[in-house]
Structure formats: structure tokens, C-alpha cells
Amino acid sequence: MPEKSNHQFRTFLLTFPLAAILPLQLTSQTAAPDPAVAQILQNGATAMRQGKPAEAEADFRQATSAAPTLPDAWLGLGMAQLREGKPGEAQQSLQKSIDLNPSIRGAHLFLGIAQYQANDFESAASSLQAEVKDHPDNVEALTWLGIVELGAGHPDQATEPLDRAAALNPKDPNILDYRGRAHALVAQDSYRALTALDPDSWRVHRALGEIASESRQWQTAIDEYQKAIAKSPSNPDLYESLGEAQQRLSRFDDATKSYETELKFSPNNPIALYNMGRIQVLNGDPAKGVALLRQAIENHANSASASYYLGFGLAQTNHPDEAVTWLEKSLTQKPPAFIEQSAYFQLIRVYQALNRPADAQRAANQLKKLKAANSQPAAPTEAP
């Protein structure tokens, strides 16, 4: 593992799993111990919460002496030792806890972390898998299993637990970071394998085009998609990707030709119809754009964006009554911020044309609120 990555892993170790488990409630896992021992356990838990692992170790060690068959005491001792940076001693304490109670929650997790600190990736993965087996919704165990597999150089085995962790906690930035890293490494491995098989294949050129698109290098993306099309000229997805890149450089005629070719190989493709319709509404013949957008919606491109551009095109072609219907509909379809602001902007104008001043004022008030919330003005004639 590169040194920088190793440092990041260890920094994460100091803050994530222990803090996620605390405060300790050790006495809930087994039969209630002697009150005096329970108080010692509580003292250790308090010391851990206060960031005093050395004091916690002393308390838990006292508990193990007073109740040597109490797994909670050994678990607490192992956690304190782990926080102190004593992975070897922590492993012994945590293993003792497991020997006394194989199903005790958290022991396999912390044992896996201690083994990981000692660079014993195979044992760490085994321990974490045991925790996940007993507690399949343990986000910390799933995350650490992914981290260990990444550290061991097995990104393909890291993706599954990290995907599960992200599904359980979709807003955790650490999980998303490691999940993204795992998938990126798997993708890189796949692209390297593809390149080794045939460096000039359409798949390789498509992958290079996608990489260029992610970096907003649109001309490079166009070049790579065109090379891919030369190798696989009947692949409709390639024309769709090419059209998207061409739009980004405002090459709308070229993009339209790409989508027209896509439709030859994928008739009534709703995405191609939508893109062609939007281009016409914004930069060409609005009446033609309206017809294309109707086709797109009939073929299941029923989205806020499609409704908005259809309404926008109808307004441009002097069909205000129907324009209102589609613009209002776009607002009920969970539109992105740009479409939402643009819809209200257009509604103001259409309501005014229909002599509906109260509705126009309500739309104007809503637009002001949205602009204030987003701190960005609406740009109704710009593609999202």
C-alpha cells in the first residue's frame, strides 16, 4: 500500500469505528456482573468517552482480574488497548472476549481492526467477515471489511461490503470515499485488461471517451467516440455519447446528426428524441422540437426536463394554454434547480400572455424565493 494511502487509513482508524460504537454499554451483552464489577466497567466506559484510553485500560484490567470470565471486561480492555495503539495486546484481549462469548457484538470488528493495524490483512478480513455474518447490518464492520480488502490490494472484494455500507448509510463521506476508490480501482483494472486484449478496440476508445468526458475534455471525448464508432458503427450508445459531447461544444448540427444516426439503430429511442427536440426548441425550429419532444414523452422520456422543454416550445409557437399545462407539470416531477427556476420564469410570461396576473405574480414570487435559496439566477434558454 502506498505510504500516503496507508497514512489515510490509519488516520481514519483513530476517529471512525470507536467513536461510532461509544458510549459503551458493556454490561448489556451478558448476565449482569457483580455491582462492584459493573461500576468498574462503567468507569472504563466513561474514561473512553473522555478520551482517556490509558485510564480505561487500567479500569478494564481491574475488571478482568475481578471477573476473569466476563467477556465484556475483555472487550473493553481490547478496545482501550486498540485506542492506545497497542494492536498486539488488543488482539489477545479481544480474542479472549470471543473465546468466552463467540457472538459478543463488536469483538470481531475490533479484532479485525487490530489485525489490520498489524498488517495481517487475511486475519483481519476473516474477523470482519465473522462480525458481518453475525450482524449483517453493522455499517462499521462492512466499511472496515472494505478498507481491509483495499489495503490488501483486493478492490474487487472491497466493492460489495462498501456498497452495502453505503446503502445503509448513504450520506457518510468516509464510506462514499472508500467505495468510490474501490470501484475506480476495479474500473482501472478492467480498462487495463481491455487494453491488453486489443488497445484499438471500440471498447477501449469508448472508455477513453468516458474518461475525457468526466474531465470535461470534450474535443478529446469526441475524437475517442468517433474512433469507437469507426470500429463499431452500428452501436447506438456510441452515437448518444458522441452527441452529448458535441452539445457541450455547442455543435448542435453535428449532435443532431449523431442522434439521427442513433435512431436508425435504435428506433424511437426516447433519449435521442428528447435531445433532438431540446436542441430544436433552444437553437433551431421550435415547432419541430415540439413534435420531437411529444414523441420522446410518448416513448417514456416522461421527465421534468422533457415536460419543461415541451412547454417552452409550445410557448414559443404561440400555444400558451398547452404550454401552461406542461410547464406546470414539470414542477410536479421533482425538477432539478435549473429546470424549476426556468419553468417559473416561463410561466410568468405565459400567464401574462393569458391575462392571468395573479398567477403571474405567484410565479414571480416563487422564482424570487428559489433564486434567493440557490443564489443563482434562472437561465431559461440554456441547456441543463
Mean pLDDT, the chain, as a whole number? 89
Structural domain contains residue 292: no
Tell me, yes or no, whether 52 lies in a domain: yes
Q: Is position 352 within any domain?
A: yes
Claim to verify: residue 25 and residue 171 sit in the same structural domain: yes
Final residue of a structural domain among 156, 187, 218 = 187
Residues 307 and 167 in one domain: no
Domain identity same for 179 and 311: no
Domains of the chain: total: 2
Give the pLDDT of residue 7. Answer: 46
Q: How far apart are CA 287 and CA 292, in angstroms?
A: 9
pLDDT over 90, % of the chain: 78
pLDDT for res 375: 66
Amino acid at 75: L
Place of cell 461544444: 249
Is 285 part of a structural domain of the chain? Answer: no
* 162, 187, 212 - which closes a domain: 187
Residue range 334-382, pLDDT digits in tens: 999 999 999 999 999 999 999 999 999 999 999 999 998 876 544 444 4
Please check the confidence at residue 25 and state whether its pLDDT lies above 90. no
The predicted pLDDT at position 228 comes to 97
Other C-beta atoms closer than 10 Å to the C-beta of 29 total 17
Q: What is the CATH number of the domain that holds 313?
A: 1.25.40.10
* pLDDT tens per residue across span 111-168: 999 999 889 999 999 999 999 999 999 999 999 999 999 999 999 999 999 999 999 9
CB-based burial, 260-288: b 16+ in 10 Å, e otherwise: ebbeeebeebbbbbbbbbbbbbbbbebbb
Q: Is 221 in a helix, a strand, or coil?
A: helix
16, 146: one domain: yes
Residue 104 is assigned to a structural domain of this protein: yes
Residues 310, 178 within the same domain: no
Q: Is 305 inside any structural domain? A: yes
Pair 34, 157 in one domain: yes
Q: Which residues span the domain enclosing 31?
A: 3-187
Of residues 198 and 20, the one with the higher pLDDT is 198
How sure is the predictor about 6, in pLDDT bands with cuts at 50, 70 and 90? very low
Which tens digits make up the pLDDT trace of 233-292? Answer: 999 999 999 999 999 999 999 999 999 999 999 999 999 999 999 999 999 899 999 999
Q: Which segment, 28-32, 99-103, 300-304, 324-328, is predicted with the most confidence on average?
A: 324-328
pLDDT at 32: 55
Residues 6+ apart with CB under 8 A from 215: none
Residue range 75-79: average pLDDT?
94
DSSP per residue, 117-171: HTT-HHHHHHHHHHHHHH-TT-HHHHHHHHHHHHHTT-HHHHHHHHHHHHHHSTT
Split at pLDDT 50, 70, 90, the class of 33 is low
> Grid coordinates standing for 52?
482517556
111 in a domain, yes or no?
yes
What pLDDT does residue 204 have? 94
- Identify the pLDDT of residue 169: 94
Residue 110, domain member (yes or no): yes
> For residue range 190-247, what is the model confidence (pLDDT) as tens digits?
888 988 999 999 999 999 999 999 999 999 999 999 999 999 999 999 999 999 999 9
Residue that wins the pLDDT comparison between 217 and 21: 217
Backbone dihedral angles phi then psi of residue 382, each to the nearest 5 degrees:
-110, 135
Query: Does 384 score more than 80 pLDDT?
Result: no
Q: Which of 116, 102, 171, 188 is nearest to 146 (CA)?
A: 116
